Amino acid sequence: MESFKELMKDGRFKFAFIVICVLALMSILSFFSPYNPLKWNVVPRDLPPRWPHILGTTSQGQDLFWQSTFAIRNSLIIALIASSISRVIAVIVGLIAGYKGGKVDTILMSINDSFVVMPLLPILILIASVMRENLTMVTLGLILSLFGWAWDARVIRSQILSLREREFTYTAILSGTRTFSLVIKEYFPFIIPIIFSTVINNMIWAIGMEVTLAILGLTNIEVPTIGTMIHWAVNYQSMLLGYWWWILTPVVISILLFVALYLLSSSLSEYLDPRTRIQRIGKAGQ
């Protein structure tokens, strides 16, 4: 609780927390939607924002507010699947490569670097084109997780390499501390800020990739996500026809989500960094 109060003093965290809570609430409201998100012509078409359709309706006869609740929920599910699995891969590869060194480090970093230099967008477009009919949210999340860990694994490895050369590592080894215990007790406090910041940054990347693929029509466009909402708005030429609310709704949601996640990442990583924590303790003691 004290940590949360301290974080709320940071304007970046406060803004991000409020936005994330609002979007999370909207995603929860999707479970109480009066409309089936896959059905068309359930409400009058092309209505501007007014009660009871507070965000307007689409040319497909769908209520934009309720469609947005499903879109936010599904996009967050894809991002959470991708970021969670890719964090596990990044942490395992980074820890083993950094601590073991030698041939193990060389082999793992060779694999890692091959993923780093891959042109991810063309590869994802090719995979999505081949698997388009079977590309569910879970499948897309798994695919994104397999390509979203390499940069972060290298960052974690660099931190472990630095920690491995410090005196407390040699002291722990000489005192008979097991490798697993050393990693958990001594190393993890230093890489937790990296894990937190990279998991949120990876969510931003995953949502961006989903939006890109959906706009290109390479995902299941019948399932509402932020990307598919933009796809249908562009496909029906909403701006040209003057239906500004249709294209503006998913664009504003995506911008708010990207900005909130970025601010959340930067504020949390700064707060959890052991160096800034020491500075805060020093200032509190003065």
* CATH number for 219: 1.10.3720.10
50 is a domain residue? no
d(CA 45, CA 61): 4
Domain extent at residue 176: 2-43+56-285
Residue 256 has pLDDT above 60, yes or no: yes
136 is a domain residue? yes
Identify the residue whose tokens are 């999370």. Answer: 24
The structural domain count of the chain equals 1
- Tell me how many helices (H) and strands (E) the chain has: 14, 0
Percent of the chain clearing pLDDT 90 (strictly above)? 44
147 is a domain residue? yes
* Band (29; pLDDT cuts 50, 70, 90): very high
48 is a domain residue? no
Going by C-alpha positions, the residue among 273, 266, 232 that lies closest to residue 251 is: 232
Q: What does the pLDDT read at residue 239? A: 87
d(CA 228, CA 266): 29
Answer whether 153's CB lies under 8 Å from 89's CB. yes
Residue 116 has pLDDT above 90, yes or no: no
Q: What does the pLDDT read at residue 275? A: 59
Q: What does the pLDDT read at residue 173? A: 67
Q: What is the mean pLDDT of residues 35-47?
A: 91
Phi then psi for residue 59, to 5 deg, are -70, -10
How many C-beta neighbours within 10 Å does residue 175 have?
8
Paired tokens of 137: 């949210």
Q: What does the pLDDT read at residue 2? A: 66
51 is a domain residue? no
d(CA 147, CA 208): 14
95 is a domain residue? yes
Tens of pLDDT, residues 130-181: 887 778 889 999 999 999 888 889 888 888 888 777 777 767 666 766 766 7
* Band (284; pLDDT cuts 50, 70, 90): very low
3-state class of 168 per DSSP? helix
127 is a domain residue? yes
7 is a domain residue? yes
Q: What global pTM score does this model have? A: 0.86
